[in-house]
C-alpha cells in the first residue's frame, strides 16, 4: 500500500495549488512514482501542473453506460474499465495523472465515485505514493471516495469561516470512522506568515491541529496568471519552502 496524501477543503481555499506544490516536493526528493488523482469534478489540477488532461474516468464510465447493452452475457465490466485505464492515465516524468471528471449527467457522480473507489483499491498497491485532490466540501467523505489515507490535509484560507468549514470536514471524517492516520489543518495565503491567534484558538477548540501555514506568494499568483506549471516554481519561493516544511514534518 502506497503512502497516500489526500487534500480537502472548501472551495477557493487553494487546495489544488497545494496539491501542485506537494507534488513538486515529492518529485524533487525522489519520492516517485506518484499517482496523482484529480477527484474534483470541477477540478483544474491538470492546468496547475501544466499538462494536457486526457479522457476522464467520467467519460469512460459514460461510454460504458452506452455500450453495456452490447456486451455478451457474462462480460466483466470491471475488466473493460481496467483495459480503458490506459486511455485516461496521463504519464508524466515521475508521476501519472488521473482525472475523474463528471459522469451520469449533470449533478450525479454516484457511479463515478464507485469506480474511483474500485480504481483506488487496485492502483494504490502499484504506486509508493498517492496524492489526491478531492472535491470541495465534504462530498468525498460522505461518498467515501477518501477512505484510506496516511494524511488528510484540510486547507483553509485565513478566515474564521474557512477554519470552521475545515473543522466540520475533520469531524465528519471522524464520525465516518475512515481509515485516516493523521488529519491536519493548513492555513493558506496568510499575509505576513502569522496566523491570527483567534483562528488558532478556533482550530484548537475544534480539535484540529494546524500543521502548517503557507504565506501569500506573488510568484504563485504570477504563475497562475501566466498559465505556467507550479512544478516550475523556484525553490526559494515562500510557498514552496512552506510546503516543503509541512511535507517533511509528516513524512519523517
Domain ranges for the chain, please list them: 3-251
Find the mean pLDDT for residues 94-120: 67
pLDDT at 96 over 80: yes
CA distances from residue 42 to 118, 165, 201, 224 in whole angstroms, order as listed: 21, 19, 32, 17
pLDDT at 23 over 80: yes
Total-model pTM: 0.88
Q: How many angstroms separate the CA atoms of 55 and 33, rounded?
A: 21
Is 3-251 a domain of CATH 3.40.50.300? yes
Give per-residue pLDDT as tens, 141-168.
445 445 678 899 999 999 999 999 999 9
| Confidence at 219, pLDDT banded by 50, 70, 90 | very high
Give per-residue pLDDT as tens, 55-79.
888 788 778 777 777 777 777 777 7
Please, what is the angle between helix 57-67 and helix 77-88, to 10°?
140
Amino acid at each position: 500500500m502506497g503512502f497516500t496524501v489526500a487534500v480537502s477543503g472548501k472551495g477557493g481555499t487553494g487546495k489544488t495549488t497545494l496539491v501542485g506544490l506537494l507534488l513538486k516536493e515529492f518529485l524533487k526528493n525522489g519520492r516517485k512514482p506518484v499517482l496523482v488523482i484529480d477527484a474534483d469534478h470541477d477540478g483544474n489540477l491538470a492546468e496547475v501542473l501544466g499538462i494536457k488532461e486526457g479522457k476522464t474516468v467520467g467519460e469512460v464510465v459514460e461510454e460504458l453506460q452506452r455500450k453495456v447493452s452490447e456486451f455478451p452475457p457474462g462480460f466483466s465490466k470491471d475488466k473493460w474499465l481496467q483495459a480503458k485505464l490506459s486511455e485516461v492515465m496521463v504519464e508524466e516524468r515521475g508521476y501519472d495523472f488521473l482525472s475523474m471528471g463528471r459522469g451520469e449527467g449533470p449533478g450525479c457522480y454516484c457511479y463515478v465515485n464507485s469506480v474511483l473507489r474500485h480504481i483506488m483499491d487496485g492502483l494504490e498497491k502499484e504506486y509508493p505514493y498517492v496524492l489526491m485532490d478531492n472535491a470541495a466540501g465534504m462530498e468525498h467523505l460522505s461518498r467515501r471516495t477518501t477512505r484510506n489515507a496516511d494524511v488528510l490535509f484540510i486547507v483553509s484560507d485565513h478566515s474564521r469561516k474557512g477554519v470552521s468549514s475545515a473543522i466540520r470536514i475533520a469531524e465528519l471524517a471522524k464520525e465516518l470512522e475512515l481509515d485516516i492516520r493523521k488529519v491536519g489543518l493548513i492555513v493558506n495565503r496568510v499575509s505576513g506568515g502569522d496566523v491570527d491567534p483567534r483562528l488558532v484558538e478556533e482550530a484548537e477548540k475544534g480539535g484540529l491541529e494546524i500543521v502548517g501555514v503557507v504565506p501569500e506568494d506573488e510568484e504563485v499568483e504570477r504563475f497562475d496568471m501566466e498559465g505556467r506549471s507550479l512544478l516550475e516554481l523556484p525553490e526559494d519561493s515562500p510557498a514552496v519552502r512552506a510546503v516543503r516544511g509541512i511535507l517533511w514534518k509528516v513524512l519523517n
